[in-house]
Structure 1
């Protein structure tokens, strides 16, 4: 009598426990590494005074780092760097090199060309810090990725604000007098570089690559394809998600650059840096709080409400600049929370509505175009703020959010919240 052998049982993969230290280390490392982004912006008043640079230099240096990030994002994606090499090692190398490039600011000695090159290089290396940090988190937290990304992007916002906080502390120390401590702007640059380097070392030392990361990369990694650009335009939901993000990017980085100028209308000295720190850092609350609300309301609704709120803050600027101090501070904090708080939601929407086969390409191209838009916006608004009063300039920031709101309308009836992407 013959018999048919039963098929061998398929082994069920055993869930790999996530060490409790992983998320705190990644969050702190993301916070430390992204502090490189606006390190020079925080000390620009000192550089302009010491080297006689014009007000327009603020926009030029910021655009250099944004352009570096665009180029770096494309290079890292096309070369599949984070798939070919262990992401924690990529994070380490980019953090150390970024810290060194940032420290070279100390050698600029008024040479704008030299500083433009170093800022471009920092932006390029940030493409191996911010997105790679997201990739590391995604490998460990696949089930809770939406909530984790909200915290990680919030950490990025805090890192962006940190140099302003360091400058405020340095200014307070130099004026404090009791200890006679003098803290020049160089201390801020060095402090940020040391912090970024420490974040890279901590990641490489304490965050191992996920045990399944190698197999995951070889089976799921796909090359960047220009076909994704056509899908962005022709797919209705994807177009709504991506163009909503573009409107968000028109406002976000211009707000970050102009925040110290806005604060200078009400405060003086180190108070300006302290106020700018809190205004930008408020985005952490917006990111985390928005992520929690999105679990109930959906990403489209949360993104729409936050984008509408930040647009209203732009339009209200002429009245808020002359409002009582308490109202002024509340307006600035609400603006800071909502201008950055919708970032995780646009990440979610782009990833949800992109076809799985090209989601990496969609996110890469979306990031690059969004940051290119931010370069145009920064240059335009820094130039305009040098000619006209801020009360006349700030309302025009609402153009991007308003267009983004119009594009998002088709998504308002959808309330998905299951996954997230890696754009900001």
Structure 2
């Protein structure tokens, strides 16, 4: 893998830490800025909505500009708004910085996905994507627990400063190491043509599956801390360790998915277009089994949440499955959207964040309805059941399978 890919992964690590770290900082922010906790919680929703809107919008703005220049602009804005957020004493200003950070994050990730695909051979796109998504999973392993500890010891502003500091060396390194050409090779199709390509039912169904899988993930992940402490009976000191276990499983899932996707791609290329489509082998063998395992895993966690040893053992397994399935779906979007080289990555990013916004809302509604702390996990299982139905509908027409 080109070294520049790992630099992009470092930037994605900083951005993933920023996206997830607020889960442990909301009470401190509310107390410091004099707003209710529920109001402070809108910072998370603002970021997710910004990602959904920002992915296609910023990708369209950047599609005719060199990939390196776009990456530097997006990462520079991301760094600057975290400095502004760390300095402000006004909640409205902080809310605006979260939206701007999400827009910059979305643009960076969409361009980086396209740039990464252009840096490697056609049968290595899966591993290249895994390097980028590995930044997000490492954020779950190290960045989010570290942000929670730092916020607890030095205040929530220190976590914002830390994200800015991690972004700075990535900014300098990208300027020196990432190729300066466009994100996708050649002039690329017009935006209208890319949008038409993204209307294909086969591709839309993959995007729908990505949103459902990520919605199930975030429905439980958002409320994992109270689940393990209040239902499982573990002390608060266990929360960073449980989050790290989830992230470790996620990292393993992303890595394995990248290799499996590339293996399926190589097989399809050798077979030729008349023998199979890219990643068909992975789609037919891995995704159905992994999706069924996820449904069973969420149900098992809901049932075993009161048994801490079993629940903790399930957490890394679920991390492996959800990120393995999710990243495989993203790779399939990139393989399928070859005639939408810029907006394919953008819509994959948007689909994931539709799930990231929807999941916590559904879990919160269940909690507000008095259904208990296990209810978000049951909703995760329900979302995976819906995903299974969507996938089953896709396979009814063999010509539309991949």
Matched, 1:394 2:377: yes
2:156 aligned partner: 185
How far is 1:191 from its partner? Answer: 0.9
1:37 aligned partner: 19
Residues 84, 163 of structure 1: alpha-carbon distance in 2 compared, 3 angstrom cutoff: same
1:100 aligned partner: 80
Query: How far apart, in 2, do the equivalents of 1:134 and 1:351 lie?
Result: 8
How far is 1:108 from its partner? Answer: 4.4
Query: How far apart, in 2, do the equivalents of 1:261 and 1:148 lie?
Result: 35
How far is 1:124 from its partner? Answer: 0.4
Query: How far apart, in 2, do the equivalents of 1:412 and 1:365 lie?
Result: 25
1:321 aligned partner: 305
- Residues 157, 284 of structure 1: 8 Å contact kept: yes
Matched, 1:74 2:56: yes
2:97 aligned partner: 118
2:185 aligned partner: 216
Task: State the secondary structure of the residue aligned to 1:316.
Answer: helix
How far is 1:349 from its partner? Answer: 2.5
How far is 1:395 from its partner? Answer: 0.3
- Residues 286, 340 of structure 1: 8 Å contact kept: yes
Which of 75, 86, 99 is the aligned partner of 2:66? 86
How far is 1:136 from its partner? Answer: 2.5
Instruction: Provide the aligned C-alpha RMSD in A.
Output: 3.3
2:219 aligned partner: 254
1:10-409 counterparts in 2 under 5 A?
21-50=3-32, 53-57=35-39, 59-79=41-61, 81=62, 83-109=63-89, 111-143=90-122, 144-170=124-150, 183-209=154-180, 213=182, 216-218=185-187, 220-225=188-193, 226-228=195-197, 230-232=199-201, 237-265=202-230, 266-294=233-261, 295=263, 298-323=282-307, 325-354=308-337, 356-358=338-340, 360-361=342-343, 364-365=346-347, 367-388=349-370, 389-409=372-392
What per-residue deviation string (whole Å, max 9, x for no partner) do you get for residues 40-70 of structure 1?
Answer: 3332243245456555346522210111112
Q: Name structure 1 gaps, 5 residues minimum.
A: 1-17, 175-181, 419-424
Query: How far apart, in 2, do the equivalents of 1:22 and 1:256 lie?
Result: 31
TM-score by length of structure 1 reads: 0.77
- Residues 92, 200 of structure 1: 8 Å contact kept: yes
- Residues 80, 164 of structure 2: 8 Å contact kept: yes
Task: State the secondary structure of the residue aligned to 1:22.
Answer: helix
Residues 300, 344 of structure 1: alpha-carbon distance in 2 compared, 3 angstrom cutoff: farther
Query: How far apart, in 1, do the equivalents of 2:183 and 2:37 lie?
Result: 48
Query: How far apart, in 1, do the equivalents of 2:368 and 2:6 lie?
Result: 41
TM-score by length of structure 2 reads: 0.81
Query: How far apart, in 1, do the equivalents of 2:176 and 2:111 lie?
Result: 16
How far is 1:120 from its partner? Answer: 0.8
Residues 366, 25 of structure 1: alpha-carbon distance in 2 compared, 3 angstrom cutoff: closer
Query: How far apart, in 1, do the equivalents of 2:125 and 2:300 lie?
Result: 35
- Residues 30, 133 of structure 1: 8 Å contact kept: no
- Residues 33, 95 of structure 1: 8 Å contact kept: no
How far is 1:169 from its partner? Answer: 4.4
Could you say which structure has the higher helix fraction?
2
- Residues 168, 270 of structure 1: 8 Å contact kept: no
Query: How far apart, in 1, do the equivalents of 2:389 and 2:139 lie?
Result: 31
Residues 161, 52 of structure 1: alpha-carbon distance in 2 compared, 3 angstrom cutoff: farther
Query: How far apart, in 1, do the equivalents of 2:139 and 2:386 lie?
Result: 28
What per-residue deviation string (whole Å, max 9, x for no partner) do you get for residues 378-415 of structure 1?
Answer: 2232343355321133201222221212222345998x
What per-residue deviation string (whole Å, max 9, x for no partner) do you get for residues 214-267 of structure 1?
Answer: 89241x2431455346423xxxx4354233223213213333422333343344
Q: Name structure 2 gaps, 5 residues minimum.
A: 265-280
What per-residue deviation string (whole Å, max 9, x for no partner) do you get for residues 135-188 of structure 1?
Answer: 2222211331122212321222223554422135437xx8xxxxxxx5333322
How far is 1:121 from its partner? Answer: 0.8
